[in-house]
Copies of this chain bind each other. A is one copy, B any other.
Amino acid sequence: MASVMTEADLRARISAFLAEHDPAAAAGGGDADRLAFLRARFDAGLAWVHFPAGLGGLGAGRSLQPVADDAFAEAGAPDNRPGRIGIGLGMAAPTILVHGTDAQRSRFLRPLWTGEEVWCQLFSEPGAGSDLAGLGTRARRDGDDWVLDGQKVWTSMAHVARWAILLARTDPDVPKHAGLSYFVLDMTAPGVEVRPLRQLTGEAEFNEVYLTGARIPDAHRLGDVGDGWKVAQTTLMNERVSIGGGAMPREGGMIGVLAAAWRDNPGVRTPGMHDTVMRLWVRAEAARLTGLRVRQQLAAGAPGPDGSAVKLSFATLSQQISAAELDLLGDEGLRRDSWAMGRPEEVDFTGRDAGYRYLRAKGNSIEGGTSEVLRNIIAERVLGLPAEPRVDTRVAWKDLPR
């Protein structure tokens, strides 16, 4: 079904909108001005243009979104701080759109997009990392509510989030994939406790979330009872697309940091390190060009599987490059800015000091799907290699060894 909205149509609508709503005034004004502008943009269907009319969009093609974003940016309009609400935009919103009821869509999407309400994701558990479907947080039905007990982990933004998307076990007596349901949890509800989770960089980007009798109204269930795994696929698919995504110039990202370190420190150069730097430069440029090609495939409507290559090589490269930077700098590279426990709301993998970059990069092959899981996915879904013998798919969840 081809979209009827053309680029010219869209530009006309944006011009009209901007004529009525002064972007500069909104950007220069207070929070209320900013919010009013964003709400108006949403109501005009210019938020995510590929969403349906009435939900912040115009039912336009996905490829037109950059047109809108660029036009608003050029006009100096305030943005919705996408770095802060990435989980809402990238994971919760597409899931609510596909699996939510009309009431859920109307309630959640607008404040999600404007940034009034921050979202977080309560999927991973200490006992369920790569094997997400093995999770054990229980949701028991009680009247019109569900009562939650369990522990979630690796939750970024939980300490500022208003809402969470959450996966819980509603039936332990069936095989693990069949006993899950998907909910929206009010993070301000009683029985929800958020604790910072300090990571090896010293910072605490993430949280642990303890659920002790926390209640969720059944109206905040997304999808049918027992369909949680299916609903979560929508979330995870969108997560993978969003990681390692943006277009970059040559020497963008971590390789630019290493190249600068090389250029700025002629005194530490050696032939061996030169070889290392050049090998990494080539790999980084290859990865960058691959990303460029993936985006062209997407734009051409032929989304190949190459996106998984992008995420996998992003992790490997960021680790190798940050390690090489430390090797290059020698003991000067061991000097950190601080070990204090910060709580950053946005993460810059290339930021701070060389030690931070090296340590933070270790997370890139764990968060959002380990590199091992990604290799399994490539081997089985892309190359069509056979699965390993499975021992966990036909047994009731409660009877699995753990």
Partner-B contacts on A (CB < 8 A): 271-272, 274-276, 278, 388-389, 391
Contacts and interface: CB of A to CB of B under 8 A. Distances in A.
Contact of A275 (B271, B389, B391): B271
Copies of this polypeptide in the complex: 2
Contacts of A271: 271-272, 274-275
A140 B278 CA distance: 63
A275 B269 CA distance: 14
Contacts of A391: 389
Contacts of A275: 271-272, 275-276
Contacts of A272: 271, 274-275, 278
13 contacts: A271-B271, A271-B272, A271-B274, A271-B275, A272-B274, A272-B275, A272-B278, A275-B275, A275-B276, A388-B388, A388-B389, A389-B389, A389-B391
A391 to B, nearest CB: 6
A62 to B, nearest CB: 42
Nearest to A272: B275
A120 B275 CA distance: 47
A393 to B, nearest CB: 12
Contacts of A388: 388-389
Please indicate which of the listed interface residues A271, A388, A391 has the most CB atoms of chain B within 10 Å of its own CB: A271
A278 B391 CA distance: 46
Contacts of A389: 388-389, 391
A115 to B, nearest CB: 48
Nearest to A271: B271
A276 B278 CA distance: 14
Contacts of A276: 275
Nearest to A391: B389
A122 B278 CA distance: 49
A305 B274 CA distance: 38
A350 to B, nearest CB: 26
A272 B391 CA distance: 48
A278 B275 CA distance: 13
Please indicate which of the listed interface residues A275, A276, A278, A389 has the most CB atoms of chain B within 10 Å of its own CB: A275
Nearest to A273: B275
Contacts of A278: 272
A399 to B, nearest CB: 16
Contacts of A274: 271-272
A388 B275 CA distance: 39
**3 A-B pairs with least C-beta separation:** A271-B271, A272-B275, A275-B275
Given A271-B272, A275-B275, A389-B389, 10 more contacts: A271-B271, A271-B274, A271-B275, A272-B274, A272-B275, A272-B278, A275-B276, A388-B388, A388-B389, A389-B391
Nearest to A279: B272
Nearest to A390: B389
A276 B272 CA distance: 9
A61 B391 CA distance: 49
A272 to B, nearest CB: 4
A275 B327 CA distance: 15
A271 B278 CA distance: 11
